[in-house]
Structures are given as C-alpha cells and as structure tokens.
Homo-oligomer: A and B are copies of this chain.
Amino acid sequence: MNVANLIETTLESALRRIDDPAAPSGLTAAIRHAVFPGGARVRPRLCLATAVACGNDDPRLALAAAAAIELLHCASLVHDDLPCFDDATLRRGRPSVHCAFGERLAVLAGDALIVLAFEVLAVAEARNPTRLAPLLRQIGRSVGSPHGIAAGQAWECEKTIDIEAYHRAKTGALFVGSATAGALASGGCAGDWTRFGDLLGLAYQTADDLQDAVGEVQVIGKPIGRDAALSRPSAVASLGVAGAVRRVKSLVQDAVASIPDCPGRASLIELVFTEMRRFLPRHVELRAA
C-alpha cells in the first residue's frame, strides 16, 4: 500500500472507533466531514517520511502518530473556520463544518477530534510502551499552549502581534511536531529533527500565503485573498510574490541541509523536493517570474 492509502486507511480506522449507532449522529457526521475527503495530508506525510528515515522499526506507532497529527490539524481547521474566527464558508472545496452542521457541532467536532487524536496514539503503543509519553508530550506541545496551534490562533486576539511567534505557533509548531513525532515513533531523537520541521513549516506557511494571494479557489478548495481581506500578516505582503517564492526555495534548501545522518537520508531529500512541487505549484512560480 502506498503512503497516501496508508494514511487514509489509518484515519478511516481511527474514525471507526467513534462510529457507534448509539451515539448522536450529527457529531459523528460532523467529525467525518472534518476529516474526509482530506487535503494534501502534508503533516502525516512528513511524520511518516521522518519515521522511515529513522528506520521505521514500529510502523504501527508511526502511522498512529501520523493519524493523530492529521486529526489535530483537522480539529484546528474546524475551529479556525468558526464564525468568531475566520467565518470561512468553504474548506477543501466543500462547506466548512459549521456551515454544514452548525456552530455547536463544529465546536464539539473539534473537541472530539483532539481527544480522538490522543486516543489513537494510546492504542498503538503495545510494542514500545515507553515511547508513548515522549510522543504525546511532543505532539501536545505542537497544538496546545503556550507555543502550539491554539497559541498561534490566540495571537490573532492580541493587541500587538509577534509575527514570528504567531507563524511558528500557528503553522510551524505542528510541522516540528510531525517531524519529531516520526522520529520518536521510530526510536529516534526529537531534538535532531526540530530544525528540519521548523524550516519546512516556515516554507509551507510562505507557500500558503502565496496560494492565498495568487492561487485559484478551485485548486485549493477554500476562499482566496483572505489574508488581504482580514489584514493578516503574510509573506506576500512583506516580500512580494517573487520574494516569497525565493524564500520558499531557500527554506527548503536549508531544511534539507539540516537532515541528520540517518539510514533514509537520500530518499528523504528526494521526497522533500517532490513535496515542495506540490505546495509550490508551477503556475504560482510562473506568476512570480
């Protein structure tokens, strides 16, 4: 099975854990809507890539970590789309969860996804029980407070915003979490992979700003021009389109240079460049030329 299918299958079996006819059906449906069909699944792919680079001696745990990370990412999107935040009506080309199921079920679906993510981790530790706590702490740190996704969104509520802290928390933290969780799931050392995750997160954030500025709704499946409309800080606003494209490429180069010595170093480098082509499409690059 290829990586994309493995991720979908693992997410599917995670959702089967909550699929109970005796449960309130609206919540079950809202959770499913938040997870399927997915986006690019960039974070779980990164997590698995790092796990493979580190030897992948416990594939079940690595897959659980990847699924947990994607579930947490989906939860953050559902809450970020709420009327009190971005009030986004479209996500992945379909109505956002609060548009399809109402605000209450959107809040609860996000909550339940966060809980489910940690449960998914806890059912996969059988072969290496001592890896669970460090994995959980690493992933928790990347989504909670003070420097995870929740903190990132909370920067939007501050009078004075620390732009770097904002981006690092809102986007970078879960990239660091993805890379380091993959390493931890395979018995590697989180610290060796922090810089790699951090630089890829910055690259992805910059590419995302580019998509928002010059992408197409039908390609990215969500409204464009939101950064400008909401006066949000953006790499395009500060560097221009061409500058932002250059920055993505240089960040990816730095990320590749930071990869520690490990069994799968060469194929990981190849994979990183392939992924860059996915989140920095040719038409965006052409716009910058």
Contacts and interface: CB of A to CB of B under 8 A. Distances in A.
A236 interface: no
Given A31-B145, A112-B150, A157 B122 contact: no
Interface magnitude class on chain A:
35 or more
Nearest to A147: B23
Residue of A102, A148, A150 with most chain B CB atoms under a 10 A cut-off: A150
28 contacts: A18-B145, A19-B146, A22-B146, A23-B147, A24-B151, A24-B154, A24-B158, A26-B158, A27-B145, A27-B150, A27-B151, A27-B154, A28-B145, A84-B102, A84-B103, A104-B157, A108-B153, A110-B111, A111-B143, A112-B144, A112-B145, A115-B140, A115-B148, A121-B136, A122-B136, A129-B129, A129-B130, A129-B132
Interface in A99-145: 102-105, 107-108, 110-112, 114-116, 118-119, 121-123, 125, 129-130, 132-134, 136-137, 140-141, 143-145
A85 interface: yes
A145 B116 contact: yes
Residues of A contacting B: mostly: helix
Residue of A82, A123, A157 with most chain B CB atoms under a 10 A cut-off: A157
Which 6 A-B residue pairings sit nearest by Cβ, starting from the closest?
A: A23-B146, A115-B144, A27-B154, A20-B146, A119-B140, A122-B136
Interface of A: 18-20, 22-28, 31, 75, 79, 82, 84-85, 102-105, 107-108, 110-112, 114-116, 118-119, 121-123, 125, 129-130, 132-134, 136-137, 140-141, 143-148, 150-151, 153-158, 162, 165
